[in-house]
Amino acid sequence: MILVLPRLYLGNINDVADVEHLQKTGITHILTVDSVKPDLTLFQTKFVNLLDDSSADMLSCLAECLNFLKEALALPETSVLVHCHAGVSRSAAVVIAYLMNTTKCTYEEAHRRLQDAKSDIKINQEFVNQLGLFESMGCEVDMTSASYKQYRLQKLTEKYPELQRLPREVFALDPSSIAQTKEVLYRCRKCRRSLFRAESILNHSLGAGPMAFAHKRLTIPNSSDSTKCTSYFIEPVQWMEESLLGVMDGQLLCPRCHSKLGSFNWYGEQCSCGRWVTPAFKVHKNRVDEVKPLLI
């Protein structure tokens, strides 16, 4: 068990088994990040079920881990132990996230600081990637950011064949169910039905343009327009739910007039700019109109 910060410790499953030592050290709160919940009746505890593999989604449970640590350390005369099975990957990743969040340092700086205290940490590369995204969001879990939404969709894609239904939080609110809004909306060009909000657009960096389609032997005009995106890639919206279940790909149709808007594919699709987007919920720009609120 290693002291990382005043009253914040990092350890493993063996440390948790030594209750007498925990009490002598002054441990009052224990955060377990593991696949097995230990029996700890003498402490304030929180258990987060997380595997240490490439499919693990640490980022989605990171906010509750950080809240537990902050609330515990805000109390006087408390000490917290964060542990997983070996104390080198899952629990180390959470402690690094805590350092990043509370000091607004980079992942590299937090990792170096923790490694100085515990030289044997070895964080799963998937957690490293997720902490990179955490850093890009300002060391907060911002569920409204496009990058986080894209991340959650990619995690769903990894286990899509096993899903009986999609989590409700994956779907953005159907703008047609809102009486009035000051947001920018996108409507079906044919029937004017509201389809999605501007914040549902998941922007991506531009691809290689015509070069990305060289394998198709297509003749693409040599102009700047050939690298522009001709479609919007968006998060799933509530009106899509029935179309997405049970199939890997298909068409996206307007829920009112049934005109074709675009397509979806859980394995991903290529944008006209050449960038591959996974998963892809694609609406062609020439099938919708952007509607901005009128300021009076």
Catalytic residue annotation: 84
> Which amino acid is it at 151?
Y
Contact 254, 190 (CB under 8 A): yes
* DSSP-derived 3-state class of residue 222: coil
Report residue 132 as tokens.
């990179």
CA-only gyration radius of the chain, Å: 23
Phi, psi of 35 (to 5 degrees): -100, -5
Contact 264, 243 (CB under 8 A): yes
Report residue 267 as tokens.
């394995």
Rounded Cα distance, 151 and 138, in Å? 16
Partner residues linked to 251 by β-bridges: 263
Respond yes or no on whether the N-terminal peptide bond of residue 279 is cis (omega within 30° of 0). Answer: yes
Q: E strand or H helix at 188, and its extent? A: strand 185-188
Rounded Cα distance, 249 and 267, in Å? 8
Contact 286, 242 (CB under 8 A): no
Quick one: which of 160, 138, 137, 48 has its CA closest to 93? 48
CA contacts within 13 A on the Cβ side of 281: 25
- Left (φ > 0), alpha (ψ -120 to 50) or beta: where does 77 sit? left
Give the angle subtended at the CA of 155 by the CAs of 149 and 156, to the nearest 5°: 90
